[in-house]
C-alpha cells in the first residue's frame, strides 16, 4: 500500500523530487485520511521521518524533500499536495504534538520556519504547540 505521512511535517506529502517546477503529482491521489486513521502507518512514517530508517521508498523520498519544501514554502508542491500537507500538519499538531515538536526541532532546529510561517498559520487557524 502506498502511503506517506510527513509531518512537518511536516511537512510534505509523499512527493518525489522532479526536474520540473513542481514535485511529481504521482502521489496526489493518496488517501491521507486512510493513512492518518492507521496507527501502524502513522508510527511507521513517523519513525522514517525521525530516523531515516525502515522507510518505504516513498517515505524516504518524502523525507528528503522536507528541507526543500520548508525552505521554498512548498512552492514546488501541487495544489493537492498543499492541501494534504495542511491536513497532515493540523492532524499532527492535534494528535501527536510531541512528535510534531521533535520533527520540528530536527528539521528546523532554530525555529526559523515557525517564525516565518506564523502569520500564515494564524490565518488558517493553526496553532502550533508551544516550544519546550
Q: pLDDT digit string (tens) for 63-104?
A: 988 999 999 999 999 999 999 999 999 999 999 999 999 999
> What are the boundaries of each domain within the chain?
1-132
Instruction: Name the β-bridge partners of 8.
Output: 10
**Cα(61)–Cα(11) distance, rounded to whole angstroms?**
12
Q: What CATH number was assigned to the domain covering residues 1-132?
A: 1.10.2080.10
**Cα(25)–Cα(80) distance, rounded to whole angstroms?**
8
User: pLDDT tens digits for 22-56?
Assistant: 887 777 878 899 999 999 999 999 999 999 999 98
pTM score? 0.78
Amino acid at each position: 500500500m502506498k502511503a506517506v505521512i510527513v509531518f512537518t511535517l511536516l511537512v510534505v506529502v509523499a512527493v518525489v523530487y522532479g526536474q520540473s517546477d513542481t514535485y511529481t503529482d504521482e502521489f496526489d491521489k493518496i488517501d491521507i485520511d486512510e493513512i492518518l486513521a492507521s496507527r501502524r502507518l502513522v508510527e511507521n512514517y513517523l519513525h522514517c521521518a525521525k530516523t531515516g530508517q525502515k522507510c518505504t521508498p516513498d517515505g524516504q523520498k518524502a523525507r528528503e524533500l522536507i528541507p526543500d519544501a520548508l525552505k521554498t514554502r512548498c512552492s514546488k508542491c501541487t495544489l493537492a499536495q498543499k492541501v494534504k500537507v495542511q491536513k497532515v500538519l493540523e492532524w499532527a499538531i492535534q494528535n501527536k504534538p510531541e512528535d510534531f515538536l521533535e520533527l520540528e526541532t530536527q528539521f528546523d532546529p532554530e525555529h526559523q520556519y515557525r517564525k516565518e510561517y506564523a502569520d500564515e498559520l494564524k490565518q488558517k487557524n493553526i496553532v502550533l504547540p508551544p516550544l519546550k
